[in-house]
Amino acid sequence: MASWRVVVTQRNFDAQTREHLAAHGCNVVEAELPAGQADADLDEDTLAHLLQGAAGWIVGHAHVTDRLLARLPALQVIARRGVGYERVDTQAVARHGKVATIAIGGNDACVSDHALGLMLAVAHRLREGQQRLETGSWAIPLGSDLYRKTVGVVGLGRIGRGVVQRLRGFECRVQVCSPRVDAAWAKSQGVDVVALTQLLETSDIVTLHAPLTPDTRFLIDAAALARMKPNGILVNTARGGLVEDRHLLAALEAGRLQGAGLDVFVSESDPAYAEVTRALVARPDVVATPHAGASTREALDRTNRIAAESVLAVLEGRAPRPECVVADGRNTHEKNQGRLAA
């Protein structure tokens, strides 16, 4: 049986998936990260050292760059344990003849749950209630229902659709905005398809589930926030960078919104926003979590297994699930090598 070195630079890699890889000829090496550090904090030299000789890499949020890939000739496949891949240079992956995959279908349910949890927590002012009890006060902060509210869902991938389905249990009126909407699906779910401006102006809660691209960066800025209802709630469990956090902080400080539920922040990729994040997190009308929406035990086990199956498929010469592949340069690279040899 072949023996491939597979490096995992993400925490919480379960024993069952590790054993599954080992049973298929993989020598699994888990990076030992200092407490409080993620693979996104590792510099290029550290990553290159960890990955020397590796055929497979199961990665969290590290930047996968052209320069790093050039230092890793043995690497065949980069499998993200997650679904966002804005930190993966997919063109460089293809150019170097490698494959990059994402773990589609592993964390949809828990992120959808997390979004609903943030909606409820902000609407019912749970943070403020606990803060008052901690000071000995039983004064009740008056919240609002999720029941029968109008909720605007921006982005209709797996997570967005999961949120729509969950909102049916609260008898919400749901309206969606997405570049691609299956009209039959929308009709079956009883949702309205609207433009972003209408969604912002008429929704009691706006929840974001779009990918971060050059077109969606700062999709929610001062102008968009000004369109929202005065007591509106903004929820972002998608990507930091969809919301201009400075503008959101200003809107909250001005009393323009009831509050916000945030799992992601611009400061995750731009340290210049660190003070803005601290100011947002300190506010009683903000319920914040540390990019934890996809991190339940069950979801991590699922995404570990999907990432591992993608790694095995590439190493064994098979095709990974098509929906998981975001870059595949194997054929192009082989053709280029053939031309060079000729």
The residues assigned a catalytic role are: 239, 268, 291
Residues in contact with 192: Cβ distance below 8 Å, sequence separation at least 6, in sequence order: 173, 174, 175, 176, 186
Whose CA is closest to 226, among 201, 243, 245?
Answer: 201
Phi, psi of 154 (to 5 degrees): -100, 110
SS3 call for 210:
coil
Q: How far apart are CA 98 and CA 258, in angstroms?
A: 47
Which segments of 60-204 are extended strands (E)?
A: 77-80, 99-101, 150-154, 173-177, 192-193
Q: How far apart are CA 2 and CA 330, in angstroms?
A: 20
SS3 content of the chain, % helix, strand, coil (to 5): 45, 15, 40
